[in-house]
Amino acid sequence: MVLERDARGTSEVRNVTPHKLAILLSGRGSNFVAIHEAIRRGDLEAEICCVVSNVPEAAGLARARDFGLTALSLPSRGIERTEYDRLLLGALRPCAPDLVCLAGFMRVLSPVFLAEYRNRVLNIHPALLPSFPGLHAQRQALDYGVKVTGCTVHLVDEGVDTGPILLQRAVPVLEGDTEESLSGRILEQEHDLYWRAIALVLGRMDRGRGEGRGARA
Ligand code: GRF
């Protein structure tokens, strides 16, 4: 149920089922928490249907449990990539997510997974792609000596950080920056960027279906 107000303050109740997001993570999960917050604030019209981690002890999974969300541990150690992705597809199927949001998920998804969620998997990367893909993007930026880096939300394809770019935010590299200080400033921007990119994709999906929802900001 969504309460809308027009310019005269007249309210209208629409019976809309929110879009469902599945979150995949492997670690602390601050991007997941930021998405959860955006939904709670009412900035992002969606619901998190499940949070899955390939690392059972991931802090993000514990946060998901604290929030009362469906939180699944699906350990990946020792499991071949395609086989794992089939397990992952099976775990997601009951919740039928509209989008799958990678939030520090430290695995490359296989073609088997992407075939089922073509153009519906998003990732956030701590650099201005196509610069500095892969691991330790902030360190790569410092080592290269760039003066501006940032973060990117993109659709996931079969490559590593190669999919179509949705949104980017620039972050200046400051004199004396360490990997930690730079990562912290980029992370702040990630938290404000990811939910906006999700809203953008949901809005596009709705327009494709002739509806109009996704973001309130
Ligand atoms: C973020 O820097 C994100 O860009 C990258 O992995 C990190 C995840 O951080 N893909 P968190 O687990 O969301 O705090």
Q: Is the dihedral of CA 171, 173, 179, 180 positive or negative?
A: negative
Out of 125, 136, 154, 191, the active site residue is 125
> What pLDDT is stored for residue 216 in this prediction?
59
Does the beta carbon of 104 lie inside 6 Å of ligand 1? yes
Cα separation, 101 vs 122, in Å, equals 5
Residue 137 CA to residue 208 CA, distance in Å, equals 34
* pLDDT tens, residue by residue, 45-58: 999 999 999 999 99
Give me the pLDDT at residue 164, please: 98
Output the 3-class SS for 148-200.
EEEEEEEECCCCCCCCCEEEEEEEECCCCCCHHHHHHHHHHHHHHHHHHHHHH
Nearest CA, atom 5, ligand 1: 104
The atom of ligand 1 lying closest to the CA of 190 is 4
Residue 46 β-bridge partners: 19
CA-CA distance, 153 to 196, in Å (whole number)?
9
Name the residue at shortest CA distance from atom 10 of ligand 1: 104
Q: Quick: pLDDT tens for 58-93.
A: 999 999 999 999 999 999 999 999 999 999 999 999
The closest of 125, 83, 80 to 101, measured between CA atoms, is 125
Closest Cα partner for 154 from 167, 142, 143, 145? 167
User: Cis omega before residue 126 (within 30°)?
Assistant: no
3 SS3 class: strand
- The tokens for 94 are 């009951």
CA distance 202 to 200: 6
Give the C-alpha separation, 111 to 118, whole Å: 9
Per residue in 154-202, pLDDT (tens digit) is 999 999 999 999 999 999 999 999 999 999 999 999 999 999 999 999 9
Asked if residue 150 lies in contact with residue 127, where contact means CB atoms within 8 angstroms, the answer is yes
